[in-house]
Chain A
């Protein structure tokens, strides 16, 4: 089992819709969770971090964490074509000091 799993997609949504991206992780002791956005040929950029169960909202983005189910998600409201990118879920397992483990990423396509 991979440490961090994501559906590779692509996930296609129309402009203005809500995009829902999901991620599961294997290390039950993980405490830190991150969502990064990566455009083709570019380095990842941090969108959200979440550390406790529940929802965390920042503008159009909402991260949701459920440690019991080992599940973290990212909702993007009012999706824009500029949101089209690969979204990487990253986790710091209980074993590492700020050692991020990335999922394979989900490619999001927002059509005008």
Chain B
């Protein structure tokens, strides 16, 4: 089946540093990817919709200058948490919308990236 890979799966960083999380569709093309954040015992909250070759669309309340999204190719979207603070510690999950072949119209989730900011 279609696979979405996220990297890194776990990252610990110091407050004030920036962290980049990658989301790759391994065997299909995805012009649209979604970034979610999940705090402990809470549901997934959509942060932004990432579109290949154009600016991301952010959900209300999500700071676009803090959470930088780049979708430079049909198989890769990156989320950069800039100047991270402890309150940014969370589980970040991406999903990719297949646009061709067997994956067309299907949504596939990455494994998630757990960020801990000290």
Contacts and interface: CB of A to CB of B under 8 A. Distances in A.
Contacts of B49: 99
Nearest to A103: B43
Q: Is the interface of A mostly helix, strand, loop or mixed?
A: loop
A52 B114 CA distance: 36
B111 interface: yes
Interface string B95-118: 101000000010101111010000
A100 B43 contact: no
A44 B107 contact: no
A102 B43 CA distance: 6
Contacts of B110: 43
Interface residues of A, number: 16
A103 B44 CA distance: 8
B89 to A, nearest CB: 14
B97 A98 contact: yes
Contacts of A88: 43-44
Identify whether the interface residues of B are mostly helix, strand, loop, or mixed: strand
A102 B93 CA distance: 13
Contact of B109 (A41, A44, A105): A44
Contact of A41 (B43, B97, B114): B114
Contacts, number: 40
B103 to A, nearest CB: 12
Give the contact-size bracket for chain B.
Answer: 20 to 34
Interface in A71-111: 88, 97-105
Contacts of A55: none
Contacts of A45: 109
Interface of A: 41-46, 88, 97-105
28 contacts: A41-B91, A41-B112, A42-B112, A43-B93, A43-B109, A43-B111, A43-B112, A44-B44, A44-B93, A44-B109, A45-B109, A88-B43, A88-B44, A97-B32, A98-B34, A98-B97, A98-B105, A98-B107, A99-B34, A100-B44, A100-B46, A100-B107, A102-B36, A102-B44, A102-B45, A103-B43, A104-B42, A105-B43
A-B complex: 3 closest residue pairs judged by Cβ atoms: A104-B43, A43-B112, A102-B43
